[in-house]
């Protein structure tokens, strides 16, 4: 009887889903291009990636005719002399971004929400959004120019205050800080858009009731605003955790050099060197797959923990 009841519920759920599709077919048609994009450009290439990572790939033979070597590429990466350096640098940069770059848009959104003058608010928003649209090449050029030990603005200020000029891009100890400050500067305005949108859904009557109960400005933020946007914060945090082993290689390879490889060489830059410069496609693909699998495990684990603690998750 229990099996029959479960089967009836399953049939009912499928019928209900089909009824929903038929009644709202125009919405599903709008969603179809998104599904097609991810299927064609995301999931289908995964088949080739797995095949290349498990073979001694020959570009002229293709992965079907290349020799199958199993998990050898993955084992080679785990035993690579640079493995722990790559993991350390990648995690360090992402954890610093998680500590500083992730909360920065939340703080900016809360501050913008408190500005009563709409014109001033629009000006601040526009200025903070602009860095997001700046090309990575231009950002790299700006960093190199501003941090130049001879003519850079930063070193000119240091020298003007009586300090010694510093070759920031030649000192390994400064690289993580440079990447973190750049991430905050470029992402703070664009990231605040999501939280500002979430703030528009907060019921104004809650603020009025809290003010009547004697709550101050900080109390309103702590007891009403933050709990209201907590689901959005949790979802964005989960998405960020899934990228803990990913650092965009574009900016890294534009500003790093062999003298600071000890702190600047990350997994993505290593994949670029092995895959593009050295044409070792099988090995670099295996490293990329390793990175993706760890990212998936991090998202699943973080999602379970978030649902247990806050009852909010991606699924």
List, for residues 150-178, the tens digit of each pLDDT value. 888 999 999 999 889 999 999 999 999 99
Q: Is residue 217 part of a domain?
A: yes
For residue 151, CA distances in Å to 4, 158, 251 come to: 79, 11, 22
Mutual angle of helices 118-129 and 103-113, in 10-degree steps: 160
Inter-residue contact 272 to 253 (CB < 8 Å): yes
Half-sphere exposure of 190 (CA within 13 A, CB side): 11
Q: Is residue 72 part of a domain?
A: no
Q: Is residue 75 part of a domain?
A: no
Q: Is residue 263 part of a domain?
A: yes
Predicted TM-score of the model (pTM)? 0.83
Number of domains in the chain: 1
Q: Is residue 150 part of a domain?
A: yes
List, for residues 75-118, the tens digit of each pLDDT value. 999 999 999 999 999 999 999 999 999 999 999 999 998 888 88
Rounded Cα distance between 123 and 214, Å, is: 33
Range(s) of the domain holding residue 212: 87-310
């Amino acid at each position: 009887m229990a099996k029959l009841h479960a089967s009836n519920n399953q049939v009912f759920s499928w019928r209900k889903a089909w009824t929903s599709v038929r009644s709202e077919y125009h919405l599903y048609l709008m969603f179809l291009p998104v599904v097609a994009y991810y299927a064609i450009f995301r999931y289908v290439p995964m088949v080739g990636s797995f095949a290349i990572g498990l073979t001694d790939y020959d570009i002229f033979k293709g992965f079907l005719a290349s020799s199958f070597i199993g998990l050898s590429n993955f084992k080679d990466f785990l035993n690579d002399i640079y493995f722990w350096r790559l993991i350390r640098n990648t995690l360090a940069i992402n954890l610093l971004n998680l500590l500083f770059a992730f909360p920065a848009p939340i703080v900016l959104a809360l501050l913008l929400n408190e500005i009563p003058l709409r014109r001033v608010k629009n000006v601040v928003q526009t200025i903070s959004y602009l860095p997001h649209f700046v090309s990575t090449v231009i950002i790299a050029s700006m960093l190199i120019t501003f941090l130049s030990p001879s003519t850079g603005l930063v070193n000119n200020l240091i020298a003007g205050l009586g300090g010694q000029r510093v070759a920031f891009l030649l000192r390994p100890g400064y690289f993580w800080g440079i990447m973190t400050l750049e991430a905050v500067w470029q992402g703070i305005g664009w990231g605040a858009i999501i939280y500002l949108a979430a703030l528009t859904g907060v019921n104004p009557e809650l603020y009025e009731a809290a003010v009547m109960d004697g709550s101050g400005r900080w109390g309103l933020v702590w007891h009403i605003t933050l709990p209201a946007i907590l689901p959005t914060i949790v979802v964005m945090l989960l998405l960020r955790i899934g990228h803990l082993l990913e650092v965009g290689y574009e900016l890294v390879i534009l500003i790093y050099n062999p003298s600071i490889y000890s702190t600047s060489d990350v997994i993505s830059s290593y994949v670029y060197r092995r895959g593009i410069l050295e044409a070792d496609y099988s090995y670099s693909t295996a490293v990329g797959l390793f990175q993706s699998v760890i990212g998936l495990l991090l998202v699943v684990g973080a999602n379970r923990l978030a649902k247990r603690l806050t009852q909010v998750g991606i699924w």
